[in-house]
Amino acid sequence: MSKLGNRADWADDEEFDDPSALPAQQVITNKDGTKTVISYRFNDDNKKVKVTRRIKTSVVREHVNPQVAERRSWPKFGLEKGHPPGPTFDTTSVGENIVFRPSINWKAQAKEAEKDGGEKGSMKDQLKDKKVKCRICSGEHFTARCPFKDTMAPVEEPTGGAEGATEEEKSGTLGQGSGGYVPPHMRKGGAAAGEKMGGRFEKDDLATLRVTNVSELAEEQEMRDLFERFGRVTRVFLARDRETQRAKGFAFISYADRSDAELACDKMDGFGYRHLILRVEFAKRT
Amino acid sequence: MRPILLSGHERSLNQIKFNKDGDLLFSVAKDKHVCAWWSANGERLGTYQGHQGAIWTVDVSPNTVLLATGSADNTVRLWNIKTGECVKVWDFPTAVKRVAFSPDGSKLLAVTEKRMGFLGTIVVMDIKYGDDQLGNLEDQADEPSLKITCEDSKATVAGWSFLAKYIIAGHEDGSVSQYDPKTGDQLENVQAHEFDHQINDIQFSPDRTYFLTASKDKSAKLISARNLAIMKTYPADTPLNSAAITPKKEYVILGGGQAAMDVTTTSARQGKFEARFYHKVFEDEIGRVRGHFGPLNTIDVHPAGTAYASGGEDGYVRIHHFDKPYFDFMYEVEREQLRK
């Protein structure tokens, strides 16, 4: 019952008070001399977080040479003049941790460590014990140099090729076992009809106009200005010659809306632009 | 342990030095400024501006009031550590390769280069610390109180023994010699390292009764300051630029690496750019600390033995505060000793 009551209170707090206001910080002094500080804050997700900290204060007395203590108050001078106290990042940094354990047989340990480290470090050492093995006849030569290269197919390697084989089974219908290349559209998981490149432009094609008989001197921006009058143009493509950078004589204009495209097609077909008469039609799917 | 990287210098480091309390670290490099850092967090306290050439050496007075630097611009400069002001400039005919305060701070020695017809020298200056409030630090003697000329082989490094009783110098030919700081007479000379292998660093134990030399002949040697007897030898596989004795734990740290000119053709691993830790008594190598991308030019240990710093040819200073395994490591005999 009390629990429920508590909960209601908490909800009240949440709903009826200003949600952005945080409860005041509470400081409770415990019997054992510690203090409990309860404070609230918002975290990164803008959620209210209650932070409870127990603080124990202990006085550490340190005996310092009075001269050293006096020196601590010296002001900075020279290049550091006027800088605030504390190390600056441009002159002082902390290096990575160094493990330093003195030991009598240090030399033997260091040698061992070097051996371990060395094997990982050098590719040459790593491959030292590896042997060349032909995938066709398992002889000690590269597969490309195999005398049976043209007459035999590679043998299946049960150990080394296990990973590759399972993948092949998953995705391959044709050429299974032979290990040959299977085009994506002929794989089991692939779409039967195959995905066409640029499939994601399908929707755009409905609102794309093909403009031909465009002047060589045409600019993309000009084309955009010309066609933007009829609606929002999402894409302007002006074909250019790769070497001369001149327009090739055709362009594609994509509209956001099919009706705009229809209007533009209607109006712009036969429009005189730069000494030529434009021909505008809906782009056909090839 | 996570090293603190100090990138205040644009060129390779030449020397770094903790002050006596270990709270400050001073670094000099081939670029023209001296940096002062807080060793605890790597914060830069300031820079000392004024040198016109590469700075080869730095030392800090025992009371952390004055800082001495020696540079390729043929000067030794004395700085007020607190304010960063230059309080004194001594001019020499050649570059200064090493400066060192005497244990009580009343004297400063400087090692000058042999060049342009001038022989290498070791000069000693008297240092005054002004009045009670450490004002008037500019009041310093203009002329050195002593000048030792090295006629056979120039000195490359030098330092003071216990109670400033001797000046110990390491030479270009690999020998170590002992001078009387009052008269300037050479008392002893020992061919400690292989002939013609320059001594690159000399660092003293906390009580200054023995010292450690690092040489190009790929070894470091622990030598008694009293009679120059070689007590320990630490062989390495690379020329050494610096060697330091750690207080608190009985280790020595050696640093070196291939000469800077051969570095580009080798990887960081082959270059041996690691700080090597040896046990001071047993002479065994007990571990290495990696990190630098170039040879280590200089190493210094926190006077309390809780941290060490290294400066490399790569222009970085790395301060390492030791963690637990460093302090826990013990030989079996040491452990037995402890149980008794």
Distance between CA atoms of A82 and A105, rounded to whole angstroms?
A: 51
Q: What contacts B51, CB < 8 A, 6 or more positions away?
A: B32, B33, B34, B69, B71, B73, B75, B77
Closest chain B CA to residue A69: B23
Q: Which residue has the higher pLDDT, B140 or A202?
A: B140
Q: What is the DSSP code string of B217-269?
A: TSEEEEEETTT--EEEEEE-SS-EEEEEEETTTTEEEEEE-S-GGGGGGS-TT
- As a whole number of angstroms, the distance between CA B51 and CA B76 comes to 9
- Tell me the backbone φ, ψ of residue B39, rounded to 5 degrees: -75, -25
Chain A and chain B share a number of CB contacts under 8 A equal to 114
Sheet holding B75-80, edge to edge: B55-60, B66-71, B75-80, B86-91
**Interface contact flag, A95 B4, Cβ < 8 Å:** yes
**A92: which chain B residues are within 8 Å (Cβ-Cβ)?**
4-7, 41-44
User: Three-state secondary structure along B70-110?
Assistant: EECCCEEEEEECCCCCEEEEEECCCCEEEEEECCCCCEEEE
Taking CB atoms and an 8 Å cutoff, what residues of chain B touch A79? 33, 44, 46-47, 49
Residues in CB range of B139: below 8 A, 6 or more apart: B128, B130
Q: What is the mean pLDDT of chain A?
A: 74
Instruction: Report pLDDT for A83.
Output: 83
SS3 content of chain B, % helix, strand, coil (to 5): 5, 45, 45
pLDDT score for B177:
93
Say if residues B74 and B92 touch (Cβ distance below 8 Å).
Answer: yes
Task: Please name the member of A77, A87, A98 whose beta carbon is closest to the beta carbon of B43.
Answer: A87
| Contact by Cβ (8 Å): B167, B178 | yes
Residue in A88, A164, A104, A160 with CA at minimum distance from that of residue A131:
A160
Contacts of A97 in chain B (CB under 8 A): 1-2
Minimal CA separation from B37 to chain A, in Å: 10
Contacting B with CB below 8 Å, chain A residues are 65, 67-68, 71-72, 74, 76-81, 85-88, 90-98, 100-104, 106-107, 110
What one-letter code names the amino acid at A172? G
What does chain B come to in residues? 340
Structure tokens belonging to residue B208: 């200054």
Domain A205-282 CATH superfamily: RRM (RNA recognition motif) domain (3.30.70.330)
Task: Report d(CA A276, CA A271) in Å as an integer.
Answer: 8
Share of chain A above pLDDT 90, in %: 0
A78/B24 CB distance under 8 A: no
**For residue B24, which residues of chain A lie inside 8 Å, CB to CB?**
71
Higher pLDDT, A242 or A199: A242
Distance CA B97, CA B95 (A): 6
Residue B21 CB neighbours (<10 A)? 18
For residue B101, the domain's CATH number is: 2.130.10.10
Q: Is the pLDDT of residue A160 over 60?
A: no
CA distance B60 to chain A (A): 15
Structure tokens at A276: 């030529």
d(CA A148, CA B61): 85
Residues of chain B with pLDDT under 50: none
Run of H or E including B37: strand B34-38
Alpha-carbon distance of B126 to B88, in angstroms, equals 12
Q: Check the CA dihedral A275-A276-A282-A284 and report its sign.
A: negative
pLDDT band for position A257 (cuts 50, 70, 90): confident
ipTM of the complex: 0.76
Q: Where are the domains of chain A?
A: 2-55, 205-282
Q: Residue type at B295? A: P
Least CB–CB distance from A104: residue in B23, B64, B331 = B331
Query: What secondary structure letter does DSSP report for B270?
Result: T
Q: Tell me the two tokens of residue B309.
A: 């710093």
Please count the helices (runs of H) and the strands (runs of E) in chain B: 2, 28
Q: B11 vs chain A: nearest CA distance in angstroms?
A: 14
pLDDT in tens, B27-76: 999 999 899 999 988 899 999 999 999 999 999 999 999 999 999 999 99
- DSSP calls for B195-220: TT--EEEEEE-TTSSEEEEEETTSEE
Tens digits of per-residue pLDDT, A2-25?
A: 444 455 556 555 555 566 677 778
Taking Cα atoms as reference points, which of B299, B294, B293 lies closest to residue B277?
Answer: B299
Q: Which residue has the tokens 């734990």?
A: B249
Helix, strand or coil, per DSSP, at residue B317: strand
Integer Cα distance of A235 and B2 in angstroms: 58
State the total domains in chain B.
1
**How far from A247 is each of A252, A254, B289, CA to CA, in Å?**
12, 18, 68
Question: How far A96 CA lies from chain B's nearest CA (Å)?
Answer: 6
Q: Give the nearest partner residue to A92 out of B42, B47, B291, using CB atoms.
A: B42
By the 8 A CB rule, do B319 and B42 touch? yes
**Of the partner residues B84, B285, B290, the one whose CB lies closest to the CB of residue A77:** B84
pLDDT band at A162 (very low <50, low <70, confident <90, very high): very low
Confirm if B230 and B219 have CB atoms less than 8 A apart: no
φ, ψ at B87 (rounded to 5°): -105, -20
Helix (H, G, I), strand (E, B) or coil at A232: coil
Are A98 and B290 inside 8 Å of each other by CB? yes
Contact residues on chain B for A85, CB-CB shorter than 8 A:
43
pLDDT at residue B268, rounded to an integer:
53
Q: Which residues contact B246 (CB under 8 A, 6 or more apart)?
A: B252, B253, B280, B301, B305, B308
Most confident of A33-37, A193-197, B83-87: B83-87
pTM of the model: 0.65
Q: What was the pLDDT predicted at A123? A: 58
Instruction: Name the closest residue on chain A to residue B34, using Cα atoms.
Output: A78
Per-residue confidence band for A105, with pLDDT thresholds at 50, 70 and 90: confident
- State the greatest distance between any 2 C-alpha atoms of chain B, in Å, as a whole number: 62
Lowest average pLDDT, out of A198-212, A213-227, B109-123, B315-329, goes to A198-212
User: Which amino acid makes up residue B25?
Assistant: L
Host domain of residue B247: 4-339
d(CA A2, CA A5): 5
pLDDT of residue A43: 81
| Nearest one of B153, B279, B301, B269 to B220, comparing CA atoms | B279
Instruction: Work out the angle between the directed axes of helices A220-228 and A258-268 (0-180°, nearest 10).
Output: 100
- Within 13 Å of residue B318, how many CA atoms lie on the same side as its CB? 27
Strands in A142-267 per DSSP E: 208-212, 233-240, 247-255
